[in-house]
Chains A and B, each alone.
Chain A
Amino acid sequence: MSRQSLTKAHAKISELTWEPTFATPATRFGTDYTFEKAPKKDPLKQIMRSYFPMEEEKDNRVFGAMDGAVRGNMFRQVQQRWLEWQKLFLSIIPFPEISAARAMPMAIDAVPNPEIHNGLAVQMIDEVRHSTIQMNLKKLYMNQYIDPAGFDMTEKAFANNYAGTIGRQFGEGFITGDAITAANVYLTVVAETAFTNTLFVAMPDEAAANGDYLLPTVFHSVQSDESRHISNGYSILLMALADERNRPLLERDLRYAWWNNHCVVDAAIGTFIEYGTKDRRKDRESYAEMWRRWIYDDYYRSYLLPLEKYGLTIPHDLVEEAWNRITNKGYVHEVARFFATGWPVNYWRIDTMTDTDFEWFEEKYPGWYSKYGKWWENYNRLAYPGRNKPIAFEDVGYQYPHRCWTCMVPALIREDMVVEKVDDQWRTYCSETCYWTDAKAFRSEYEGRETPNMGRLTGFREWETLHHDKDLADIVKDLGYVRDDGKTLIGQPHLDLDPKKMWTLDDVRGNRFMSPNVLLNQMSDAEREAHVAEYRANGTKVA
């Protein structure tokens, strides 16, 4: 279509909307934001006549690549270390995708300007595309990869796993609570604009380095829809900024959304990239280096900072602290170690680390060895069943961590753990901001103002509570993380597929699993204070 006819087409399509006079659309999802003063913006409308063939063409390329990968025996050169982590990632990601689709009517309800409704509805279709195309990719992995266990129970595992729950925030956060907080700030302004670059570009690029070129094909195709979504979100953001009354809410939501995305996405993607790769070239970018480029420079400096000209205070401190956690506080390494500690209740296998890995980590994160090296040596030593228990139940100087009530990643930077009694329960938080999110942000009042539409943190947020004081073998069985011989675990702390080297239910029986939060709430004040002091001192006894 020529430029001129495109302009005419957009104008004509705009004629489809009208001002209702008999009844207005039901408001199913409330917001405390107001858009009375929102300027009429007219973002480019998507013309379905171009949209469908464009997407079909993209799909054809994806499906072509999938056929090609199978015909070309891609799986002869795929690193198992890498693909195992995809059992976790691909179990999580279709839900955030479909949740993004579900979030669109919330944004449509909240923002009265019909000019943007069309773009949001198209985004809904995109997100159905993303969710189902990813489920299909996962199916291909299940069919073609040497070890299908974990892929085969993917959606069930996602729904009952401690790591699945961490990832679930990334979908539920889009569809629940204040419509603008959820469907605009959390979903678009932060998750899509900041973090899809690491999720859908940086991480798949690492897949290619591990012999898997399908993940990048599919996810780059997904990412190519994102720029439209980002501009939908930006339009709404500008509309919200037109009213002074929205400013405190926007500032609240940017703090929550930024921090939660950092906690959740950096935990997962950081681990996949740093611990899932076999590519240990010294000039290969580390996750920290990628983060600096994609998040710090491209998002923070080029997208967030310019918002200050609208008088918005952006969370500089939290951006810097996220960077600090990644580079100085070992955030990603702590998360990886935690996932590996929990291997019996995983539905993927986690490889041992070699000297080559150690060298690379030390090069990229100086001081890594002294902090984590010994633990990974123990992980290697305890990899096979027979002579020892799973590493979580052996004394390797690692205390099973408390979970953050808000982001559900454990409080792994132990000196930063916050312990407070909230809603009559002692809760632990990974950081001050996660405490603030629960105690201050997700409440019906914020800084003296009524916020009835704000969401709530709900559910059995500490996964361990559900399994408190049970035998590990029974927990694994209840979760269904057992292979089709009825005894071998899906999760393994190594990649050896020799059945004799794989752990079974019998190998893990006899270990009682205790919930740190249940125990914390059973302690007297004095016990709790001593416990917390010890925990903050990195798990070593305080004299």
Chain B
Amino acid sequence: MADITDQKTRSFPKIEFTDSEAGALDFPSSKSRTYNYYKPAKLRATMYEDVTVDVQPDPDRHLTQGWIYGFGDGPGGYPKEWTKAQSSNWHTFLDPNEEWEQTIYRNNSAVVRQVSLCLENAKRAGAYKNWNHAWVVFIQRNLGAWMHAENGIALHVFTSIQRSAPTNMINNAVAVAAAHKMRFAQDLALFNLDLSEADIDFDGPAHRDVWQNAPEWQPTRQTVEELTAVGDWGELLFATNIVFEQLVGQLFRSELVMQIAARNGDYITPTIVGTGENDYARDLAASRSLFQLLVRDEEHGAANKELFGQWLSVWVPKCLAAAKALQPIWSQPAEKPITFATSLDAAKDKFRSLLEDLELDIPKELDQ
């Protein structure tokens, strides 16, 4: 054993008793223990509000010196002109999901555990062996193609939007949507990998060609690519989350995959796709509440409604065309408990009621 007297004296900071606890003394502001620079929506500030509101400065709020850097061709910061939509106060939007650091990781980790468990069980039970060939091909082609759409939207729609909206609340909500989409796209890809290794006749890389070339998927790919090309962040969010996700995303995920998988002996896919549906329900709640605020804006509501009407007239036809092009995939599985017409009607109904929530006119194309 070493001789302890031989050791170098270690140097360490001295801890002192300072009594610097809350309540140790009474003096002006000694009880001022709330963030007082914004008015919470309800009586008490939520954790979400405290960690989100006013973190992105704004000359309309407290910023006095203005943005200190500009772009070569315009002002810096978060110009309101980056969308044609207008608001008399963008800061009224609060994310109904109240996403912040803790919710992001808790919720997504819960999904990860759920999906992992499901996949492990499937492997153990040899669940894929019971799939009929038509279903294997259906998943290989169509779920495989769809994951591209999810990934593209993650990276080039939501990630992109969160630089452009004028408040921290909008941008964070959209960043969370990007995280959802990225996770979901990867979950589908890793599911594809499991299937490739499952000792069934599954062609892992086939999805690339389907997405890139199969005629039924080209209008969908085209719409996704055209979405990513939209410069106006408001239009991009509206066209994606309000129109595309309803008429194409939900149509494929809820009205097709979720409806028919079980009948084809597949209980794995609905678990995974269900997480994507659940994410979308959350992300839609945020978008719905943002666009609702905009149509109800006392000053700009009417102009916004008109603008959204224009956006609908651009995107509804594109998305309906994409939806209709997908029709052949409804007949690919062996068990076809649902027709394309039924699925499309269901998607349209949900879309109509969403538009009603937003107090927008129902585009005539929907009735055709």
Using a CB–CB cutoff of 8 Å, the interface residues on chain A facing chain B are 8-9, 12-13, 15-26, 28-30, 47-49, 52-53, 55-56, 59, 63, 73, 75-80, 83, 94-95, 98, 101-106, 108-109, 114, 117-118, 120-122, 124-125, 128-129, 131-133, 135-136, 139, 142-149, 152-160, 165, 168-169, 172-173, 175-178, 208-211, 278-279, 281, 283-284, 408, 444, 451-461, 463, 466, 483-485, 487-488, 490, 497-499, 502
A145 to B29, CA, bound (A): 12
Tell me the B59-105 residues at the A interface (CB within 8 Å): 61-73, 75-77, 82, 100-102, 104-105
Q: Please name 19 pairs of A and B residues whose Cβ atoms are closer than 8 Å in the assembled complex, sorted by A.
A: A12-B204, A13-B190, A15-B208, A19-B212, A22-B221, A23-B229, A25-B228, A26-B230, A49-B116, A56-B108, A98-B55, A108-B155, A108-B159, A135-B52, A146-B23, A159-B54, A176-B77, A452-B72, A459-B69
A147 to B161, CA, bound (A): 39
Partner of B77, one of A53, A135, A172: A172
Q: Chain B, 215-239, contact with A by CB distance < 8 Å: what is the 0/1 string?
A: 0000001100110111100000000
Residues of A within 8 A of B17 (CB): 76-77
Instruction: Tell me if A80 and B18 are in contact (CB < 8 A).
Output: yes
CB-based nearest B residue for A277: B13
Instruction: Tell me if A136 and B51 are in contact (CB < 8 A).
Output: yes
Partner of B62, one of A95, A156, A457: A156
Instruction: Tell me if A155 and B35 are in contact (CB < 8 A).
Output: yes
Partner of B175, one of A75, A124, A143: A124
A49 to B18, CA, bound (A): 45
Instruction: Tell me if B175 and A211 are in contact (CB < 8 A).
Output: no
A143 to B19, CA, bound (A): 15
Instruction: Tell me if B13 and A284 are in contact (CB < 8 A).
Output: yes
A128 to B173, CA, bound (A): 10
Residues of B within 8 A of A451 (CB): 72
Instruction: Tell me if A136 and B221 are in contact (CB < 8 A).
Output: no
A49 to B160, CA, bound (A): 22
Using a CB–CB cutoff of 8 Å, the interface residues on chain B facing chain A are 11, 13-25, 27-38, 47, 50-58, 61-73, 75-77, 82, 100-102, 104-106, 108-109, 111-113, 115-116, 147-148, 151-152, 154-156, 159-164, 168, 171-172, 175-176, 178-179, 182-183, 185-187, 189-190, 192-193, 204-205, 207-208, 211-212, 221-222, 225-226, 228-231
- A-B residue pairs, 5 tightest by C-beta: A156-B37, A209-B13, A483-B28, A135-B51, A149-B29
Instruction: Tell me if B55 and A80 are in contact (CB < 8 A).
Output: no
Instruction: Tell me if A176 and B67 are in contact (CB < 8 A).
Output: yes
A354 to B229, CA, bound (A): 62
Instruction: Tell me if A52 and B183 are in contact (CB < 8 A).
Output: yes
A451 to B159, CA, bound (A): 26
Residues of B within 8 A of A128 (CB): 100-101, 104, 172, 175-176
- In the complex with contacts A48-B186, A56-B106, A146-B20 CB distance below 8 A: yes
- In the complex with contacts A132-B100, A152-B29, A498-B27, A28-B160 CB distance below 8 A: yes
CB-based nearest B residue for A136: B51
CB-based nearest B residue for A47: B186
Closest chain-B Cβ to A38's Cβ sits at a distance in Å of 18
Instruction: Tell me if A283 and B11 are in contact (CB < 8 A).
Output: yes
Instruction: Tell me if B115 and A105 are in contact (CB < 8 A).
Output: no
Instruction: Tell me if B55 and A155 are in contact (CB < 8 A).
Output: yes
Instruction: Tell me if B69 and A456 are in contact (CB < 8 A).
Output: yes
A208 to B105, CA, bound (A): 27
Closest chain-B Cβ to A153's Cβ sits at a distance in Å of 5
Instruction: Tell me if B55 and A452 are in contact (CB < 8 A).
Output: no
Instruction: Tell me if A497 and B155 are in contact (CB < 8 A).
Output: no
List 11 other contacts, CB 8 Å, given A136-B100, A159-B61. Answer: A18-B212, A24-B225, A28-B82, A47-B186, A56-B109, A121-B154, A133-B101, A155-B35, A177-B70, A177-B76, A488-B29
